[in-house]
A and B are shown apart, each in its own frame.
Chain A
Amino acid sequence: MAALEEEFTLSAVHLGAGPDGLLGVEPSDRADQFLVTDGGRSVVLYKVSDQKPLGSWSVKQGQIITCPAVCNFQTGEYIVVHDNKVLRIWNNEDGDLGKVFKATLSAEVYRIYSTQGTEPIVLFKEGAVRGLEALLAEPQQKIESVISEEEVIRWTKIFMILRHPILLFITEKHETYFAYVQTVHSHTLSKYTLVLGEEKALIQSFTASMDRKLISLITLCSDGSVYEALIPTHPSDPEKTQRVVRSLLLKGIVSGNARNGAAVATLDQDHVAVLGPAPEASKECLSIWNTKFQTLQTSKELPQGTSGQLWYYGEILFMLHGKFLTVIPYKCEVSSLAGALGKLKHNQDQGTQAVTRFVSWETSQECFQNSEQSKRILRRRKSEMSIQPEAPASKQLLSSIKKDSEKHIEVELRKFLATKRTPGCHAVIGDIVTGLLGRSKAEPLFYPRNCLAQLIQTCALSYSLCPGLMEVALEKKDVQILQLCLQHFPDIPESATCACLKLFLSISDSSLKEADVHMESVSASSDGAPEERMEQQPGAVENGSSPAEADCAAAANGRPPGTREESASSPVLPKRAALLNAVLHSAYSETFLVPHLKDIPAQHVTLFLRYLYFLYLKCNENATMTLPGIHPPTLNQIMDWICLLLDANFTVVVMIPEAKRLLLSLYKFVKSQISICSELNKIEISFRELQKLNQEKNNRGLYSIEVLELF
């Protein structure tokens, strides 16, 4: 769920914001302090929590600031450009901008970027990029022109990849948009054409975020819809201009006729903030949308109008509301379906209900939000293909699988995955996996684990699409891939599940330690196990007391023996626990699973049983009967597996003393649970009677005369 908090204005003195609003709001080197550059002559440093300015600087009459002031994080100085070419650098102590350091450059500056951990970077209007140090060393150096004539920079953003800055800038030429990705240090520049598709709407606002190796460029168009385009940060072919297709994220969320334009900002991977008039209402408002579920999370009206500009840093949004710079803190939580169901806009009367979309079963299979949309993309792609005769990414990938290096395949795969998926993508992904496995069988050294992991995580694969995959992973004892398979495949046969279980129980600690396993299903409380206790002597008496005594003691205080220490620590390593949890989560059919469970060696059965018993006790520690953690096994799954395991191995289990004792305490515990449940069922009936009595009391009877005043 995302929420907007109470807004406040930064200063009672309204800024000299021109008709175009502010030039920019930039963070300074101190938290909570921001540099606000207005559209005229002054730069103000604000402390947001105190809502007051700390300092203010202006350029001389006649000069005009053309680029928002930024803070050089390495030196703590501030940098601003006025009259396009004049660079000024000053610090907090300086009072007059006329007297501070000045450098006149040979070309017009578009913007200066400053981020933590790198020197400021200057972007010129012609598209050239320089580091500040290099520029100051020779201010009059010649600046080359990168973009063509008539091409104008519309929007830019800087990203950091492994401490290297990457600059994205969008240019426009005759209503065609281009995206440039400039790696500052290596000076590689790649150019992409933004394919707008059939919608001829103008782009009103840009925002972008980076996720791993892709930049997600989000655009808000004048038709009120939000689109997303994915741009790779490492181009496969820097020489060529490539095309980027965009897809619809949200439809018609702002009204098309925004007076001052509308703005969009990516808050996190699932949330965007949108500033602009809501459809069917003239008032402007700020709203947060969840793009994953396409729901409106929250919104706030801004009746005094905005300039259509939006900045965000940390968890704060800045915008002009009327004549004042307004700050709205916000919170976005990880989007879950329950959270995203969200709420309808609180003021329904405004006629601006949330546009809720429904996923149809037929199309959900294809990982799409909207069948209509997918068709549109398909159509677009077709037309695109007719323009570009080059083979699609999948073909290229399939051919590279046969011969290229693992590294290269990975790059190709990333490119393939970056394209939006078409309805036929299942089959293609299946083909890719089959190709990879085929090669891996032929060349024993070839095992593209990363590729496989990525492919499994597309959720487009299933066991039946690539039956060999788990087989190979079992052979290679690759628990990481197996865990992913168990998590993502809907149709694993019981034999394979059981083979995984066997491997997970038998794999050595040392090889486990190396494995990169998802740990989210294991809660923090259970991963404190210092060592595994499988080597424990069977039949050893715990706590020095004989089993009979323990039983008595347990019976006396109503808890089964060994409860305390069993529940205190997990009998398996956290990594092993995570793997076993994946098995617990998998789907199975009892009839088919039980025969395979019989093949598990007795000591592993005991270990697994101990783990299940541990989980069961953990479950019963709280009232909701759930385990902590993000995706823990449920009580039903635990119980079902205990039953399955005992069904399959009962004769074996009763023969092993340790297992037998475990069984006894399990039996006692379950018995006490059953008696609790039966008591609860009894109490439920009594409660219902009480509730009935209560209702009767609340019920104002069958007849009354009341006073009603209508307003």
Chain B
Amino acid sequence: MLAAEGGMGEFKVHRVRFFNYVPSGIRCVAYNNQSNRLAVSRTDGTVEIYNLSANYFQEKFFPGNESRSTEALCWAKEQRLFSAGLNGEIIEYDLQTLSIKYAMDAFGGPIWSMAASPSGSQLLVGCEDGSVKLFQITPDKIQFERNFDRQKNRILSLSWHPSGTHIAAGSIDYISVFDVKSGSVTHKMHVDRQYMGVSKRKCIIWGVAFLSDGTVVSVDSAGKVQFWDSATGTLVKSHLVANADVQSIAISDQEDSLVVGTAEGTVFHFQLVSVTSNSIEKQWVRTKPFQHHTHDVRTVAHSPTALISGGTDTHLVIRPLMEKVEVKNYDAALRKITFPHRRLISCSKKKQLLLFQFAHHLELWQLGSTVATGRNGDTLPLSKNADHLLHLKAKGPENIICSCISPCGSWMAYSTASRFFLYRLKYERGNISLQRVSKMPAFLHSALQILFSEDSTKLFVASNQGSLHIIRLLDGSFKHLHTFPSLSGTVESMCLLAVSPDGNWLAASGTSAGVHVYSIKLLKLHCTVPAYNFPVTALAIAPNTNNLVIAHSDQQVFEYSIPDKQYTEWSRALQKQGFHHLWLQRDTPITHISFHPKRPMHILLHDAYMFCIIDKSLPLPNDKTLLYNPIPPTNESDVIRRRTAHAFKISKLYKPLLFMDLLDERTLVAVERPLDDIIAQLPPPIKKKKFGT
């Protein structure tokens, strides 16, 4: 009946803002030029990999660990990623299986800094005890080679000369230049402790950069950016840029531009500019300040076209350098990435439960209810408020990787990097009891993704070895049904799973290869959706038709018929016509897709700033049609409405939107996380006086 009115219908929306999620602050960023990828480490030890070529999609992540903090992050040759931290260990990450390859103690106390040699074959770490240690990177591990002359204070920053013959090491009050061959100090450059005329106790060198002409650039806790001549050990130029610490520095590959970040949240761009128009003499000039952060900018990186910064305020900011961007497109826009590009929330439709995943605990909430009805925009009186049912603290220091609640609400599972937990939930007269299912099989020790079948009788687990396990759940116990091994030749892990509502098909997607569809009945691979250039961000299988809907990071959406093993007519038509340019310009990926049980033509999907119902029966919008029209039609006749209506019905009412799903045909649940609530939980920024400065 509602459809006859021409609209998409009326929904009751459970608007949830009690998901108290606060992302961890960013500690390090490392940019890899060859793969155009950005590694980001957070204060909780999480390491994320962003693919800058794929619309800045966060394609991989390594869960954090309380006992491990990353103070330094770097790429070495063959795109190997290393981190080091205050527990004194150097860690190498396996980007294929998304696990830690090994951790090795450097035996120098907490590690403050690390740098890979220009060739990428050696690794240097700076330790608490003042030692600088050189490691050789072997094909499968790293090997300690030798110590450099030990310094008095901890080594907070390191930089290689591009030729690999010298290094600069920033410590407290001075910078040392080492000869790599002999390991001895060739110069020691003392930094002025004076700060705005007041002598501070110590001047910490937070970052150094060694340029090929022998210049060493340092940033320190007195707010200075200084240029030193390493051949003579003299100060060439000093810029006072902040009243607080300058905490990070990064330089472009061409060495003509560098970026520093301060504790006041400002990022300064320095450029090497000719002094006069026809002289060859060039000078470093502070050119542009950017204020995209409210808190400390702990780390910066310099890609060929952008300045990248991150810090305590948890945003990853990618600021394109406009003079390097030629056309106004996606890459020319400022990016502020705050939320993870994966789901942290699962939902039990039957019991109206929401499971929230935090770094170290899970929360289970029951939604409230109302008996009232209203018109568009009304807030209805609650007859029952939302209820916090459960707070489950994870054991051990490891972060939770993934979690899921079954659609019936009686099973719950989560996994850390080394353990897998399955719980049975029982509800008795308003009380909830939780029972851990013990004796999990040995192969089930870590999962990247967990999914329950629609009837909650099967559990699907994607392990980090690339295999998929199917487990049958019986009342209170379980049985291992089958394991799909990783497909021949690849050990790539599957990060996204989708099961068809009839329980016959399972779709799984890794970070780069295509989507694989398995038949659960026959327990074999059914087909592989042709590979696409951009990573998959969300997957779902429609009821009845078994059409697989795939969203990619370039904002393309495909519909693939599993029974027919081909793209559907609608998907082809959509590709032929192309998406609306505003749709393609959205800057957050689609993280969830669902379907309407009664309207097979509808697809529901959402990103962080909008949710959309695609009605496949309506004409597709072209670039001339208004994509987003928040104003309801009023005086227009039905004819006009029908003529202007198009397939994409978009609502931007709820944002930032972390999760949205259909509970039943008339009810939606939307989980928002307002930025203000996150900011309120961060430590206060450095206060600047407004009046009478």
Partners in one complex: yes
Tell me the A residues contacting B by CB distance below 8 Å: 280-281, 348-351, 353, 355-356, 358-363, 365-366, 371, 423-427, 465, 673-674, 676-678, 680-681, 684, 695, 700-711
Binds A, one of B11-19, B54-62, B71-79, B166-174: B11-19
Q: In the complex, what residue of chain B is closest to A281 when comparing beta carbons?
A: B624
Tell which of A349, A465, A677, A709 touches B625, judged by Cβ atoms closer than 8 Å: A349
Which of A424, A674, A711 has the most C-beta atoms of chain B within 10 angstroms of its own C-beta?
A711
Q: Is the CB of B9 within 8 A of A356?
A: no
Which residues on A sit within 8 Å (CB–CB) of B676?
Answer: 695
In the complex, 13 of the A-B residue pairs with CB atoms within 8 angstroms, ordered by the A residue number, are A358-B323, A363-B323, A426-B276, A673-B692, A703-B17, A705-B15, A706-B12, A707-B10, A707-B13, A708-B10, A709-B9, A709-B10, A711-B633
> B426 on the interface (CB 8 Å rule)?
no
Q: Is the CB of A705 within 8 A of B629?
A: no
Q: Is the CB of A365 within 8 A of B277?
A: yes
> B651 on the interface (CB 8 Å rule)?
yes
| Residues of B contacting A: mostly | loop
Given A427-B277, A708-B13, is A349 in contact with B322 using a C-beta cutoff of 8 Å?
no
> B328 on the interface (CB 8 Å rule)?
yes
- Give the B interface residue count (CB, 8 A): 60
Q: Is the CB of B278 within 8 A of A681?
A: no
Nearest 5 A/B pairs, CB to CB: A677-B692, A360-B323, A358-B322, A710-B8, A709-B376
Which residues on A sit within 8 Å (CB–CB) of B285?
Answer: 361
> B271 on the interface (CB 8 Å rule)?
yes
Q: Is the CB of B691 within 8 A of A709?
A: no
Tell which of A362, A680, A711 touches B691, judged by Cβ atoms closer than 8 Å: A680
Given A349-B624, A350-B624, A678-B692, is A705 in contact with B271 using a C-beta cutoff of 8 Å?
no
> B397 on the interface (CB 8 Å rule)?
no
Tell which of A361, A676, A677, A678 touches B288, judged by Cβ atoms closer than 8 Å: A361
Q: In the complex, what residue of chain A is closest to B387 when comparing beta carbons?
A: A703
A44 CA to B100 CA, complexed, in Å: 85
A710 CA to B612 CA, complexed, in Å: 10
Q: In the complex, what residue of chain B is closest to A673 when comparing beta carbons?
A: B692
Given A350-B624, A707-B10, is A674 in contact with B692 using a C-beta cutoff of 8 Å?
yes
Shortest distance from the beta carbon of A478 to any chain B beta carbon, whole Å: 26
Can you add 20 more A-B contacts, CB < 8 Å, to A350-B624, A359-B323? A351-B624, A358-B322, A358-B323, A361-B273, A365-B273, A365-B274, A678-B692, A680-B690, A681-B689, A695-B676, A700-B379, A703-B368, A705-B15, A705-B369, A706-B13, A707-B13, A709-B375, A710-B9, A710-B11, A711-B629
> B623 on the interface (CB 8 Å rule)?
yes
Tell which of A280, A701, A707 touches B12, judged by Cβ atoms closer than 8 Å: A707
A680 CA to B692 CA, complexed, in Å: 9
Per-residue contact bits, chain B 601-640, to A (CB 8 Å; 1 contact, 0 not)? 0000000000001000000000111110100110000000
Q: Is the CB of B380 within 8 A of A707?
A: yes
A678 CA to B288 CA, complexed, in Å: 32
Which residues in window 654-693 of B have CB below 8 A to A? Answer: 668, 676, 689-692
Which residues on A sit within 8 Å (CB–CB) of B653?
Answer: 708
Q: Is the CB of B651 within 8 A of A684?
A: no
A706 CA to B669 CA, complexed, in Å: 10
Per-residue contact bits, chain B 249-287, to A (CB 8 Å; 1 contact, 0 not)? 000000000000000000000010110111000000101
Which residues on B sit within 8 Å (CB–CB) of A371?
Answer: 323
A677 CA to B689 CA, complexed, in Å: 10
Q: In the complex, what residue of chain A is closest to B370 when comparing beta carbons?
A: A705
A674 CA to B274 CA, complexed, in Å: 44
Which residues on B sit within 8 Å (CB–CB) of A710?
Answer: 7-9, 11, 613, 649, 651
Which of A425, A676, A710 has the most C-beta atoms of chain B within 10 angstroms of its own C-beta?
A710
Shortest distance from the beta carbon of A672 to any chain B beta carbon, whole Å: 12
Shortest distance from the beta carbon of B195 to any chain A beta carbon, whole Å: 17
> B104 on the interface (CB 8 Å rule)?
no
> B231 on the interface (CB 8 Å rule)?
no
Which residues on B sit within 8 Å (CB–CB) of A702?
Answer: 16-18, 386
A531 CA to B11 CA, complexed, in Å: 77
Q: Is the CB of B322 within 8 A of A360?
A: yes
Which of A362, A676, A695 has the most C-beta atoms of chain B within 10 angstroms of its own C-beta?
A362
Given A351-B624, A703-B368, A711-B649, is A366 in contact with B692 using a C-beta cutoff of 8 Å?
no
Which residues on A sit within 8 Å (CB–CB) of B629?
Answer: 711
Shortest distance from the beta carbon of A173 to any chain B beta carbon, whole Å: 37
Q: In the complex, what residue of chain B is closest to A460 when comparing beta carbons?
A: B277
> B374 on the interface (CB 8 Å rule)?
yes
Q: Is the CB of A706 within 8 A of B380?
A: yes
Shortest distance from the beta carbon of B252 to any chain A beta carbon, whole Å: 13
Q: Is the CB of B322 within 8 A of A362?
A: no
Shortest distance from the beta carbon of A147 to any chain B beta carbon, whole Å: 42
Which residues on B sit within 8 Å (CB–CB) of A707?
Answer: 10-13, 373-378, 380
Q: Is the CB of A349 within 8 A of B627?
A: yes
Q: In the complex, what residue of chain B is closest to A348 when comparing beta carbons?
A: B582
> B481 on the interface (CB 8 Å rule)?
no
A710 CA to B379 CA, complexed, in Å: 16
